Amino acid sequence: MQTAENHKESEVAASPEAALLTTEDQMRAQIYRLLAVFLSSPPDNDSLQIAADLKGDEGEFGRAISNFSQVAQKLDTTTVETEFHDLFIGVTRGELLPFGSYYQTGFLNEKPLAILRADMAKAGIERVADLKEPEDHIASVLEMMAGLIEGAYGAPFSLDQQKTFFDNHINSWASHFFTDLEGAKYSVLYAPLGTIGRLFMKIEQDAFEMT
């Protein structure tokens, strides 16, 4: 699966170790980054075209990919920008608040954000200077996970290390967010993206349990 580039928590190039990843890990990182691209900002023409070109297989996850692609083929960037604004920005706030602290405590900028920042420091992940949102934004933590798999912040994380980050900062709330995104009033393109995210979180949960 191809994905578009997203603004990253740390402006770093892919490490040489990324070329040594298994095909499975490369695909995992691409899915994390695909989700992060569309959740960080409204997609540009290139990102929307990449979504339109995606192909899925006959499994449940593959059908979700195909559905996302089919919806993307029917939309333009202006329409999707409006959808993104209504979902995540709004006049005073969007329909959804895509932050880990909010989903885990009901408030922004709470303890989960402080824990994430501490773990970012340990992993060598630096906050981008002009990033407006707190680091526990869904797009940011997904982008971090992709970078940890690929070794974008140093050596790739082992599966045990990945599981720890996933459990602490993604698994604890992202499935609930993606379920909300699927059913959100303003979701059109983002409804099938929510399905992709929800199913992928379950795939990751099951895979980590096996390790």
The enclosing domain of 101 has a CATH number of: 1.10.3480.10
Q: What is the mean pLDDT of the chain?
A: 92
State which residues form the domain around 43.
Answer: 16-210
**Distance spanning both ends of the chain, measured CA to CA:** 25
On whether residue 162 sits in a domain, the answer given is yes
On whether residue 74 sits in a domain, the answer given is yes
Is it the case that residue 134 has pLDDT exceeding 80?
yes
For residues 170 and 167, give the distance between their C-alpha atoms in angstroms, rounded to a whole number.
6
Asked whether the whole model's pTM tops 0.75, one would answer yes
Is it the case that residue 60 has pLDDT exceeding 50?
yes
pLDDT tens readout for residues 3-36: 333 434 433 344 555 557 899 999 999 999 999 9
Buried residues in 166-193 as b, exposed as e (16+ CB within 10 A): beebbbebbbebbebbbebebbbbbbbb
Tokens of 100: 């880990």
On whether residue 20 sits in a domain, the answer given is yes
**Residue with more model confidence, 11 or 64:** 64
For residues 159 and 173, give the distance between their C-alpha atoms in angstroms, rounded to a whole number.
20
12-16, 66-70, 81-85, 156-160: the lowest-pLDDT one: 12-16
**Residue with more model confidence, 3 or 133:** 133
On whether residue 1 sits in a domain, the answer given is no
For residues 195 and 201, give the distance between their C-alpha atoms in angstroms, rounded to a whole number.
10
Residue 43's nearest CA partner among 79, 87, 94 is 79
On whether residue 113 sits in a domain, the answer given is yes
Residue 171's nearest CA partner among 130, 201, 207, 140 is 201
Per-residue confidence (pLDDT) for residue 203, from 0 to 100? 98
Query: For a pLDDT cut of 90, what percent of the chain falls above it?
Result: 86
Buried residues in 94-105 as b, exposed as e (16+ CB within 10 A): bebbbbbbbbbe
For residues 84 and 31, give the distance between their C-alpha atoms in angstroms, rounded to a whole number.
19
Question: For residue 206, what are the contacts with CB-CB under 8 A and spacing of at least 6?
Answer: none
Tell me how many domains the chain contains: 1
For residues 194 and 179, the answer to whether their CB atoms sit within 8 Å is yes
Per-residue confidence (pLDDT) for residue 128, from 0 to 100? 82
On whether residue 68 sits in a domain, the answer given is yes
On whether residue 145 sits in a domain, the answer given is yes
For residues 170 and 91, give the distance between their C-alpha atoms in angstroms, rounded to a whole number.
28
Per-residue confidence (pLDDT) for residue 26, from 0 to 100? 96
Per-residue confidence (pLDDT) for residue 3, from 0 to 100? 35
Q: What is the DSSP code (8-state) at residue 24?
A: H
Per-residue confidence (pLDDT) for residue 103, from 0 to 100? 98
Strands (E), the chain: none
On whether residue 7 sits in a domain, the answer given is no
pLDDT tens readout for residues 138-187: 999 999 999 999 999 999 999 999 999 999 999 999 999 999 999 999 99
